[in-house]
A and B are shown apart, each in its own frame.
Chain A
């Protein structure tokens, strides 16, 4: 690592001030992405602004028909929350599939979404469940949030405060993990929401996206067999050591079917 200054502000305002005063300051949440990046000397922040002392950023609240999760809530809390398990079990399941126990105890939902790793799981949840991302300045709809590889709608120094998930009628997430890293090679969240069927795919493209052809097929018939014979276009999908675009395209359908089957029970 290069040398840096470490800050642990007690409020959002204080955090914003440090970020504003230092050009090369970066937010630190669980550090599960940030710290390895720094160790490999791929990032050189002048200052790290650790959000862990800001209590209001952590916790899970039920508010009518929505669940609000603070940005600094670790994956393990979401996976283990009885509220999430009873209201949106698909979300608790997804959080429980992230990484390993250590990662789930450190990594946060805010960090995961800001980072928008193409292979991260939460983006599929946010997009599939039509969540709203609350930052210190505005609310961003899931459909407007993920822009490209590691690129989101967040402005410079904009801080995610919480994510609001409306309770779906039914939903399930199916993940094909990368055997090496256990990130998603392909993950599909299928949800029947008050606004219709949503199918969100992570791992397959540069960032999470909705699979409209799957949504259309399921809108007619919410069953795994409705996807029989459907092929997914491999054209723009990721190509790396772990999976070719063709294989990813195939997995999108297989995982979608599994999610539909799981959501139907």
Chain B
């Protein structure tokens, strides 16, 4: 290991600018002569727009224009596209209604965009917006899954009268039924996976700028994937060819999936900037973020597990309804299908699995990826069900898992639900986690808590996840409407410093550091002489962006491939300079050496020769040292691990306190352990947030009740214990570094560990389930109900 190479806990390069307030976020950008946009949003969950009266607003000094959905229709603007098509059981395609950036005749959720006011000042735009008189004909609405699937529920779309977007299945139904027929025991569970609002610390911002001289557009936006936005917005919405459209996503303050989607506001400001021939800037306020950023999760499921008399899992059957919101967001349909049900095998060798998923339209914000995207839903369901099976059969929760784990020598392992796991050691992760958590000491701690009148419980989850959707042709066959490769460029500058261009995007993950470590390790170039550039379609050849923990496993591998090309070319140049055969030249610590001799040339001198090719094999080699590679992964990667949570519950109030939380994760090879630990901490916090605090609530009329931090409860620092985290590595077998990914694992494994602990603490009182989030009142209510039931049955 070199000082700043692979495996070193190097401090993050980017933190200097972030900590000193010099980050450049989209809202920090201001363009000369820009206008401010205020989006007028529907206050109603469902209504027909009978008319819009603009005059009073247009008369206000400082107002330049007020544009509506009708203006968009007149300009031939297209709808926001959906990036993943899912088929019904009978092979027919899902119902795919349009998604106009500004609603022209009907609004379908509170927050739906209706019109945009453009003014010289933000405050004027807002004042004028109140003068726009919109005549709504209110219609009945159904914002929740239960409301939308009720009989005679109001339909979100005429073309889906029962609100079903798709009715999809995976797995072998007949084989699963057979497994259940032969089962000694069947455990079942009803799960509500609560709806979440991602809450990136930076609200969304978009600035559109049109250059009439060149007929070119630039969009500055808070995106995790600028090239994807260019493709979607250019090709489907605004009909702008790629060479005329530049997307810049500079420093981005957190995304968690919510900044993958192509949003209406991006199209609105870009389109409007040409209409008024001035730059147009829109910045969401926090209230807008709550009602317009794509939401996450929101499933209702029923699951059954068939077991043999010894506790072997024989079959798993799952029925899920997933809320898609009012419109199909960019990857909305993929999340509750291919990113969810394919993970239902978990870490277990269950031979037969069948899952059916109904994707439902509701009068609510579109639902899309949120950290983990589908995998937390699968893991939560499975790990709650496995714990319940353990309780019902009287088998220890550790034993039932160990018994059913895919064995160490069982890889590659083909699951019954599409995926083929390449590597893992679930026993080792479990053992390491138990050790670190002092699992053996639990009973003693439980007794100590009891002395203080508190109920202590321990819960675990042994999760799996899948990162870096791949390969592109397989994803395409499953409905992806894009490739899932990544590009990377290694640009060695004449004096030997390196500029890295990556199609991945960093919005908190620390790519500028991790990727620089790869370069330092490969070329021996000083860490400070490597800079990573991302987030600009005008600079980066191409990119699919960052989500699904893919940056290192896909983007990093593109860089590794480009580095390999650089090394090959460098050896050729060095061979010429050293008058040796190319085959004899080796790369050692930033030097190129003729093997077995002390004849060397430095990498810096090779770079200089490439750009000042006076002594250079010009007849056989191009000058320059700048290589690009595209990498399409052969398979997904499969991080896995074990999380153990210990809670203490105050039975008088129902308050759950997390006393200990331990994680042992297998992320494959680790490039920067400090960054990985940070990713785990953040992930755990979000998973704990879902377990105990966060919940998006719509009332029966379709109004969003949790529209601010007064009501939407984020996990706070004082809610969390000091996390104990460690790793246990098995290498990924199909990429050159053996890396897997670590961005989402914390979120995936932690929620069930917390709830299993809560249920464990309350089990002696007769409680066998507590919904998420396990708020104090819900826990108190579970205790009270169990006491009541005991009294009745006594």
Contacts and interface: CB of A to CB of B under 8 A. Distances in A.
Interface of A: 1-3, 40-41, 176, 179-181, 183, 241-244, 247, 250-251, 254
Nearest to A1: B123
A247 B777 contact: yes
A179 B652 contact: no
Contacts of A251: 653
A241 B697 contact: yes
Contact of A180 (B126, B130, B712, B780): B712
24 contacts: A41-B126, A176-B776, A179-B693, A179-B713, A179-B719, A179-B775, A180-B693, A180-B710, A180-B711, A181-B709, A181-B710, A183-B710, A241-B697, A241-B711, A242-B711, A242-B775, A242-B777, A243-B777, A244-B777, A247-B781, A250-B780, A251-B653, A254-B652, A254-B653
B287 interface: yes
Contacts of A241: 697, 705-706, 711
Nearest to A119: B710
Contacts of A250: 780
The CB with the most chain A CB atoms within 10 A, among B710, B719, B775, is that of B710
Given A1-B123, A241-B697, A254-B653, A179 B780 contact: no
A190 B709 CA distance: 30
Contact of A176 (B287, B653, B711): B653
A1 B697 CA distance: 27
Contacts of B780: 247, 250
A2 B127 CA distance: 7
B184 to A, nearest CB: 41
B709 A180 contact: yes
Interface in B667-698: 693, 697
Contact of B776 (A2, A41, A179): A179
B713 A180 contact: yes
Contacts of A183: 710
Given A181-B709, A241-B697, A251-B653, A40 B287 contact: yes
Nearest to B777: A247
Contacts of A180: 693, 709-714
Contacts of A254: 652-653
A254 B697 CA distance: 28
Given A179-B713, A242-B711, 15 more contacts: A1-B123, A2-B127, A179-B775, A179-B776, A180-B713, A181-B709, A181-B710, A181-B711, A242-B775, A242-B777, A244-B777, A247-B781, A251-B653, A254-B652, A254-B653
A250 B650 CA distance: 14
Interface string B751-794: 00000000000000000000000011100110000000000000
The CB with the most chain B CB atoms within 10 A, among A2, A241, A243, A254, is that of A241
A144 to B, nearest CB: 30
Nearest to B776: A179
Interface of B: 123, 126-127, 130, 287, 652-653, 693, 697, 705-706, 709-714, 719, 775-777, 780-781
Contacts of B287: 40
A179 B691 CA distance: 13
A242 B775 CA distance: 9
B711 to A, nearest CB: 6
Contacts of B693: 179-180
A231 to B, nearest CB: 13
A202 to B, nearest CB: 16
Contacts of B781: 247
A181 B203 CA distance: 20
B690 to A, nearest CB: 14
A250 B127 CA distance: 46
7 tightest Cβ-Cβ pairs between the two chains A and B? A180-B713, A181-B710, A247-B777, A179-B713, A254-B652, A243-B777, A241-B711
B647 to A, nearest CB: 15
A1 B126 CA distance: 9
A161 B757 CA distance: 51
A240 to B, nearest CB: 8
A209 to B, nearest CB: 21
A174 B127 CA distance: 44
A244 B775 CA distance: 12
Contacts of B706: 241
A84 to B, nearest CB: 24
Contacts of A247: 776-777, 780-781
A101 to B, nearest CB: 12
Contacts of A176: 653, 776
The CB with the most chain A CB atoms within 10 A, among B123, B126, B706, B711, is that of B711
B750 to A, nearest CB: 18
Nearest to A186: B653
A217 to B, nearest CB: 18
B729 to A, nearest CB: 37
A3 B127 CA distance: 10
A254 B651 CA distance: 11
A1 B710 CA distance: 19
Contacts of B123: 1, 3
Contacts of B697: 241
A181 B711 CA distance: 7
Contacts of B127: 2
Contacts of A243: 777
B709 to A, nearest CB: 6
Contacts of B705: 241
Contacts of B711: 180-181, 241-242
A1 B127 CA distance: 9
A2 B713 CA distance: 29
Contacts of A181: 709-711
A250 B714 CA distance: 25
A180 B709 CA distance: 6
A243 B777 CA distance: 7
Contacts of B775: 179, 242
Nearest to A181: B710
B199 to A, nearest CB: 12
A253 B130 CA distance: 47
B467 to A, nearest CB: 32
A157 to B, nearest CB: 27
A174 B661 CA distance: 29
B714 to A, nearest CB: 8
A69 B772 CA distance: 44
Nearest to A39: B285
A176 B780 CA distance: 14
A183 B713 CA distance: 12
B454 to A, nearest CB: 14
A2 B126 CA distance: 9
A157 B367 CA distance: 48
B718 to A, nearest CB: 10
B352 to A, nearest CB: 42
A180 B710 CA distance: 6
B778 to A, nearest CB: 10
